[in-house]
Structure 1
Amino acid sequence: MDHILRGLAANPALSSALVDRLVAIADDDIAEGLACRTDLSRAQAVALARRVEGSARALANEGLLTADDVDPALWPDAALALLEHGAGRPEWARLLVADPARERREKLAGCRGLPSDVVDRLAADPDVQVVAELALAAPADVAERLAAHPHALVRAAVAVNEATPPAALAALVTGVGLPPARHCLVCDREETPFVHDPFCPRLDCELPPGASCDGSHESTVQDIQHAAIGNPATPVAAVTEFVDHPSMLLRWALAARRDLPLRVCARLAADPVPGIRADLARNPALDDALMREPAGDPDPEVRRGLAHHPRIPLDLLTELARNVRIGATLLPRVAAASPAEVAALAESVEPAARMLVAQRRDLPPAILDRLADDPDAKVVKALAPHPGLAEGQLRSMVDRHGVRVLAKVAANPDASPALLEDLARHEPPVHRVFREVARHRRATAPALLLCLPDERARPVAAGHPALPPPVITELLADPDERVAEAAAANPSLPPAVMSELLLDV
């Protein structure tokens, strides 16, 4: 019965009186569904928070509780949620900064706009996890101060923060100008030298796999370097020397930076790790000459990365599309193509080029019509979900290419109810068609009934409002709880049935 009540809690057609009934019997699961309702009144939200204290935070996150409703001593998590959204009161922060629960002080440290005295207390918190959370998004002056914190974990958090001054980030990378860190999580907990077993059997162990310390906090120092290299506020001159670093992770982080000098790009283009070359291949820092090198890379991931470069020449992109599986995605270069380039791609003799441009959803009518009649199934499959296609064009696609395009045609937002029903009846059946029809806003009862026998489509179809009410009611008893819960959440479930369900509890 719990899954039925969860479904009812999310049912948008549930009357206010029945919502009251659910609030009165709510447990954690029911409260989670109720907290997401857009029609929950303030009185209902307060009553729910009183019934299930753990729901107060979710209700505050949804804006259903305000500062006037929340007592931070009674509902500290709700007070934290309002502070996170900038809707709390400063005096709450001064109360919560002394909370004995580290987790709450940690969440408080992640809030923006805290009073300066609260920030100072958090920066001096005895638990390093709280200070590290503060450092992740602290303003520039606080971040600069925390860059010299004696604990390496805090320094790693400062290195992530894009508000950290560039000079402090450079110092974190090089170590020049900062006193050495005195602690890390490893030497806090273990006698050094220590290397954490990646397959550590201790259930209560919180150290990352491979974490190590020989007194120099080496694994956390590498975390600091990795974070700073990936931080766009770090001066590029401070990180280019990592191009030959023995750590694959540091070179990989470097390859993603968009401000790399060409000489560094050239070195990374010869890196032995394919993933590094793949990330570099999509990097806008590459010029036209360097873009030609990855096109001949033996690793398909590198060539696939190059296909995602925002400035790749279209002739090179077309060549790549012939021999690399790019997938059903709109590439940045195709998305930015000019009208003339779009026309050229649509008229290309290469099906791969036509397939790329068919992924756009803003094609002019003439190009849309041209591609709808394309003889290549891959092109038509890419185009089929495009809005604006007429029913005759969609049916023609099915007639010419059959099962290869069926699911994509079913995903078209303009597919008619009659077409959706015909697709669900297609022989041989295509299972993905059932899922697409089951979630389609224009699906009718006959089409949905055809989808119900499919195991994966059944839970989706059970929640569709076009399903006949008697069928929805029957599905409440389905042995698959996902199906029954979806039926209980269906707005077409008869109100009398909703009432009966709640009378039984």
Structure 2
Amino acid sequence: MLDFPDELSELEPEAKSESTTAERLVELARRSQELARIVAQNPYAPTHLLKELGYSHDVLTRQAVVANPNAPTDILLNVGGEFPQQLLDNPVFGLLWLENPDLVAAMPQRTLSRLLESLRGQQELLEIVANHSSRSIRYHAYRVLRKPNCAIACLERLAGSEDGEVRSAIADNPQTPLSILERLADDPDDNVRRSISRNSNTPVSWLIKFANDRSDDVRANTARNPRTPASVLEQLSRDRVQSVRYVVARHPQTPLSVLETLAAEPDVNMRCAVTQNPNLPVGVLEKLAQCSETSIKRAIASHPKAPIVLVRGLLYEGAKWFRGDVARDSQSVEILERLARDWEPWVRQGVAENRHTPTILLEKLSKDETMEVRLKIAQHPNTPATVLACLASDRYLKVRTEVAKNVNTEIEVLKGLARDRIAPVRQAAQIRLQSFL
């Protein structure tokens, strides 16, 4: 720290000056954090000092180093992933390509990934990455091309790529214009047509065509597309490939007559797929509940339209493993309330894991006698801060550790856990506290 408040203003011009010697800049940078930040911006700072500052604990110092044109290449590439905009703005970044035409291969994966998150990075690098000889590097292009925020100009330029995975990624992107998708609709690569068949913007006329595609995957993804009309689903319900028909059974737009036909098939997997349809009528659920297969009964018991009376009967018949699975999947508050009172800890633990469990039940289960149940409550993303505060004094270190990790835990509780007598609890709390700095 500086000795006097006015000392920074006195030394700042010297820290910025191009005429200050390298030895003096080193001395100034080590004198205070404030001066280190200023020295890090000086384009005449020696490279060995900038390398040292590039590993500083201070974020602003590291950021200034990445923006400095005199920073060593290894620092720019390693620390640049933390500050991609500063790296792209650094005037020396363009010159690095002259020194090493395969610069993307020399970059850490994190840096390359962060650079491609920005539109400017995509404009400058995406085509290079997509055409690279290494698939591990091209993977970054595949990932970016699927993202909604990918630059349309990049999608346009790369739609004619010889790499089928590039074209498939573009066809997957929900923001890809129809003009580009139309060019890819008759692509000889099955994976490209598969991507278009599952794209939520694919026109119905194309889906009708894809329902007759030679590829099983294309037809299956056509059956999965939310825009696929009932007439096409009816056609695909008679597909020669059973896996395609399973997808039809799950589609919310599949006509009732088709569901009834599929539900009557002897294939257990088909009937199980039918029970996963969110719009399945109660009558079909009741009929399927008469079967002996546990997998079908479990799906029915977790179905949002299943009558309470029907579910109660299935729970009464089922073993603890059956009730536990229902407890993890059910969206019915009444069923979850019933299972929260179950005598088996495994079942109550299932309720504690369920993302649909209401807050009042989470609070009740936080006082459960079984540690595993309380542990799941401590991990639950919807557990209120007041409940977590109570669990912070739990006698089991696993519970306290999960409380420290939970994003809903308040800072005052974390401060208390940071003083816990057990090291793993303290460490978890300290990590969370750092996120508040």
Q: TM-score, structure 2 length as denominator?
A: 0.61
Q: Does residue 1:355 correspond to 2:338, yes or no?
A: yes
Distance 1:116 1:433 in 2: 48
1:280 to 274, 293, 297: 274
Task: Classify 1:145/1:237 alpha carbon distance in 2 versus 1 (closer, same or farther; 3 Å).
Answer: farther
Following superposition, the deviation at residue 439 of structure 1 comes to 4.7
Amino acid corresponding to residue 169 of structure 2 in structure 1: E
Cα distance in 1 between the residues matched to 2:144 and 2:405 = 40
1:41-70 deviation per Cα after TM superposition (whole angstroms, max 9, x unaligned): 63266579852626645654xxx6586359
* Counterpart code for 1:300: T
Rounded to whole Å, the distance in 2 between the matches of 1:298 and 1:118 is 55
Q: Aligned residue for 2:198?
A: 160
Identity %: 21
**Corresponding residue number in structure 2 for 1:368:** none
2:230 maps to what in 1?
236
Judged with a 3 Å threshold, the aligned counterparts in structure 2 of structure 1 residues 174 and 432 are, in CA distance, closer, same or farther, namely same
- After TM superposition, list the pairs within 5 Å mapping 1:180-191 onto structure 2: none
Supply the AA of the counterpart residue of 2:181: A
Amino acid at match of 1:464: A
Task: Please identify, of 118-127 and 380-389, the stretch whose mean Cα deviation from structure 2 is larger.
Answer: 380-389
Question: In the superposition, relative to structure 1, how do residues 438 and 114 fare at CA in structure 2: closer, same or farther (>3 Å)?
Answer: closer
Aligned equivalent of 1:304: 298
Which structure is higher in RCO with an 8 Å CA cutoff and minimum separation 6?
Answer: 1
Q: Name the amino acid aligned to 2:427.
A: A
* Correspondence for 1:51: 75
1:129 partnered with 2:129:
no
C-alpha separation between the residues in 1 aligned to 2:274 and 2:66? 50
Matched position secondary structure for 1:260: coil
Query: Structure 2: how far apart are the matches of 1:79 and 1:134?
Result: 19
Counterpart of 2:427 (choices 433, 448, 462) is 462
Measure, in 2, the Cα distance between the counterparts of 1:283 and 1:153: 27
Q: Give 1:26-425 correspondences, 5 Å limit.
A: 42-43=63-64, 46=67, 51=75, 53=77, 56-57=80-81, 59-60=83-84, 65=86, 68=89, 71=93, 81=114, 84-85=117-118, 87-88=119-120, 92=124, 96=128, 99-101=131-133, 103=138, 106=142, 109-110=145-146, 112=148, 118-137=154-173, 138-175=176-213, 221-322=215-316, 323=318, 324-325=322-323, 326-329=325-328, 331-334=330-333, 345=334, 354-356=337-339, 382=351, 397=367, 401=369, 407=375, 413-414=385-386, 421=393, 423-424=395-396
Q: Distance in 1 between matches of 2:297 and 2:152?
A: 50
Rounded to whole Å, the distance in 2 between the matches of 1:55 and 1:40 is 11
Name the Cα RMSD after superposition: 5.0
> CA shift at 1:143, angstroms?
1.4
Q: Which has the higher helix share?
A: 2
Amino acid at match of 1:92: E
Q: Distance in 2 between matches of 1:93 and 1:164?
A: 29
TM superposition shift of 1:130: 1.6
Question: Which ranges in structure 2 are unaligned for 5 or more consecutive residues?
Answer: 1-32, 41-47, 98-102
Stretches of structure 1 lacking an aligned partner (at least 5 in a row): 1-14, 176-217, 335-344, 346-351, 359-373, 425-430, 453-457, 466-485, 493-505
Label 1:405 to 1:236 Cα distance change in 2 as closer, same or farther (>3 A). closer
Residue 238 of structure 1, CA deviation: 1.8
SS in 1 for 2:237: helix
- The CA distance in 1 between the partners of 2:302 and 2:290, in whole Å, is 15
Distance across 2 between alignment mates of 1:353 and 1:118: 49
Q: Is the 8 A contact 2:275 2:303 kept in 1?
A: yes
